[in-house]
Amino acid sequence: MSQFASLRNASGPEPRASSRPVAGRPLLYRSYAQDMALFNTRPKRLWVGVIIVVAFLLPMAVLDPTLEVLATGFAFAIGALGLNIVTGLAGQVSLGHAFFVGVGAYTAAAISGDPDGRSIGLGITEIAVWLPAAGLVAGLTGVLVAPLATRLRGLYLAVVTLGLVFIGEHIFREWSDLSGGAGVGREGPVPTIFGYRIAEDSSLFTAEQNLYWLMLVLLLVFALGARNLARSRVGRSFAAVRDRDMAAEMMAINLPRTKTLAFGISSFYAGCAGGLIYSVVGFFEPSTFGLLLSVQFIAMVLIGGAGTVSGTILGALFITLLPTITRELPAYLPFISSTATETPNIYQLESVLYGALIVVFLLFEPRGLFGIWIRIRNYWKGWPFSY
């Protein structure tokens, strides 16, 4: 981008408002800066604004249980954005995301935990302390694991990261001072901002409303970060590695460094998400961070649309809302039971849906929910013509 800008500067004065789209000509790009802008068309800017405003006003209209689910969904979306950076953007298949989420969750819980409690705790509940700490510790773990990952390609990497999940689960289970031990678990981190306790009802707002707004703001920050990363020099080098690693190497992209960076940033996101998810959920134990969690994150990215920020957030919300939807089903489909001992029950249906959705989306719409949106948009763009 800087090269283009300098070329333009050399040839004459910058045309006025070149980064602005021309009214009525949405596809006309007059500068590289306009093409690479955060919101390159006016409708995008408008609708993102509308969605954000609606999202902020939602707690006034929606009941608390739904808000809690949505807040969890936002926290999961932050983790999914992290996986999207390493898998969707840099093309490195990671089945080990649950491990980094776990590292973040335990770091956050240990920092904010009760010093007199059963498990390790420092008693610093300020979110401005434990959130970056959780991200940094997880990010550092990612950088430590990266030397192994940068030597491997494709499915070798997938299996190794799978091994990471099993080893991580073992460590969490055995380090019972930190984790509370298998089957026991510990409390999630407590969020406070300048002494104001988020997770408790105050005179104005309920705990769920507070948590919802906190997660929404944090998700916006992290999403903006991910979007900006994707259009920066680093993000473009990630995409180059994904598309053809050898060609990227020929363009003087340092492969080990780029992959290490991708793992580090992705793990940072995962760590932050780990801290946040369990501050909403409130409780977790070592077996939480198993293979299933990794698969869930992969499902979020793939169902949403690999490589896209908006798609990933959609996918994360979709997957977190899935249990809520299936729990409603027995009312409409009487042959499905809601008790775990009968077959077929909603828990089985939920698992089958995870699997089936991954298969169906990859077979029929590899670009995910984002791709469906693109199809709808293109249909109406060309209407009444078919293309």
Which positions lie near other proteins, rule CB under 8 A?
93, 148, 151-156, 158-160, 162-164, 166-167, 170-171, 173-174, 246, 250, 291, 295, 298, 302, 341, 343-344, 348, 351-352, 354-359, 362-363, 366
Query: How would DSSP label each residue in 74-124?
Result: HHHHHHHHHHIIIIIIS----S-HHHHHHHHHHHHHHHHS-TTSSS-----
CB of 319 to other proteins, least distance (A): 13
Nearer to other proteins, 127 or 298 (CB): 298
Q: Identify which of 103, 82, 109 has the alpha carbon closest to the alpha carbon of residue 94.
A: 82
Contact present, 168 and 102 (Cβ < 8 Å): yes
Query: Torsion angle, CA of 292/297/298/304, rounded to 10 degrees?
Result: 140
Q: How far is the CB of 102 from other proteins (least distance, A)?
A: 15
Q: How far is the CB of 13 from other proteins (least distance, A)?
A: 43
Min dist. Cβ of residue 366 to other proteins (A): 7
- What per-residue string of b and e applies to 257-266 under the rule 16 or more CB within 10 Å gives b? ebbbbbbbbb
Considering beta carbons, is residue 37 or 292 the nearer one to other proteins? Answer: 292
Nearer to other proteins, 200 or 342 (CB): 342
Q: How many CA atoms lie within 13 A of 121 on its CB side?
A: 18
Pick 14 or 174: Cβ nearer other proteins: 174
The minimum distance between CB 303 and other proteins, in angstroms, equals: 10
Closest approach of other proteins to the CB of residue 310, in Å? 21
What is the nearest approach in angstroms of other proteins to the Cβ of residue 91? 8
Residues in the chain: 387
**Distance of closest approach, residue 167 Cβ to other proteins, in angstroms:** 5
Q: Which is nearer to other proteins, 114 or 365 (CB)?
A: 365
For 229-277, what is the HEC assignment?
A: HHCCHHHHHHHHHHHCHHHHHHCCCCHHHHHHHHHHHHHHHHHHHHHHH
Residue 195 makes CB contacts below 8 A (sequence gap 6+) with none
Nearer to other proteins, 244 or 381 (CB): 244
Listed residue (293, 268, 353, 355) closest to 161, CA to CA: 293
CB 111 within 8 A of CB 189: yes
CA-to-CA separations, 143 to 138, 200, 206, in angstroms, rounded? 9, 36, 39
In angstroms, what is the minimal distance from the CB of 52 to other proteins?
Answer: 32
Residue whose CB is less far from other proteins, 173 or 197: 173
Radius of gyration of the chain (CA): 22
Residue with structure tokens 């059963």?
118
- Minimum distance of other proteins from residue 131's CB (angstroms): 29
C-alpha 272/C-alpha 103 separation (Å) is 10
Q: Residue for token digits 């169906």?
A: 360
Q: Of 279 and 367, which CB lies nearer to other proteins in the complex structure? A: 367
Q: Kindly tell me which of 21 and 96 has the beta carbon lying closer to other proteins.
A: 96
Residue 261's nearest CA partner among 236, 290, 224 is 236
Smaller CB distance to other proteins: residue 3 or 339? 339
